[in-house]
Amino acid sequence: DTGVSQDPRHKITKRGQNVTFRCDPISEHNRLYWYRQTLGQGPEFLTYFQNEAQLEKSRLLSDRFSAERPKGSFSTLEIQRTEQGDSAMYLCASSLVQVQETQYFGPGTRLLVL
Amino acid sequence: AQKVTQAQTEISVVEKEDVTLDCVYETRDTTYYLFWYKQPPSGELVFLIRRNSFDEQNEISGRYSWNFQKSTSSFNFTITASQVVDSAVYFCALSSAGGYQKVTFGTGTKLQVIP
């Protein structure tokens, strides 16, 4: 399978704990996106990387959130001091920079903060 | 600001019926892309189609067809002869054509196909 993969698929944590999610994009894709999806809503953009550079962050991304893509391949999304409001599905997508760009999504990491 | 409206929250149809999912969008961009994604219960968003704003030709792919009407800012999706496997949440989405692709999604339409 050469699609976008995410790990873990599910995470349950207690409020105040830190969590980290990983995304492995399609191998030749140089753009990587993170989205958050809450119940009954569509995905909302959080941030995006082109290669290793983080070029845009949504105002949804509070100071407790940090994302990295150190070598321009996989990416991590860390949430510090989790809150119950952070409970959501975190989706990663990747794409290839070209005239007609299409993002391909991973299966997501479902986070539940107790 | 960009906005995508999917007014139908949930739709139920009996297998083999045709069903149309509505999508209305707002954008100030003159050039943009429209998308449909399918999200089955497993959670993964599956890309279905991308349409460029300058191409208003309708498209058919098997049982799926898309009707893009720029005059009414609509991009509707029809499934012909629905099947149980079509049961999923369907998202319409919009992005600017220039720069990186910050995609704005609608709230989705949950389709249930009853056997």
pLDDT value for B99: 66
Average pLDDT score over residue span B75-99: 92
Residues forming beta bridges with residue A104, ordered by sequence position? A94
* pLDDT single digits (tens) A31-60: 999 999 999 899 999 999 999 999 888 888
The verdict on a CB contact (< 8 Å) between B45 and A91 is yes
Q: Lowest mean pLDDT of A34-38, A102-106, B84-88, name the range.
A: A102-106
A/B interface, count of CB pairs below 8 Å: 57
Compute the C-alpha angle B91/B93/B97, nearest 5°.
160
> With 60 as the cut, is the pLDDT of residue A1 above it?
no
Which element (helix H / strand E) includes A28? none
Assigned token pair, B88 = 């999923």
- Asked if residue A85 has pLDDT above 80, the reply is yes
| pLDDT bracket for residue A61 (50, 70, 90) | confident
Chain B residue closest to A95 (CA)?
Answer: B101
Mean pLDDT of chain A: 92
Q: Over pLDDT 70: what percentage of chain B?
A: 97
Among candidate residues A112, A110, A48, the one with its CA nearest the CA of residue A85? A112
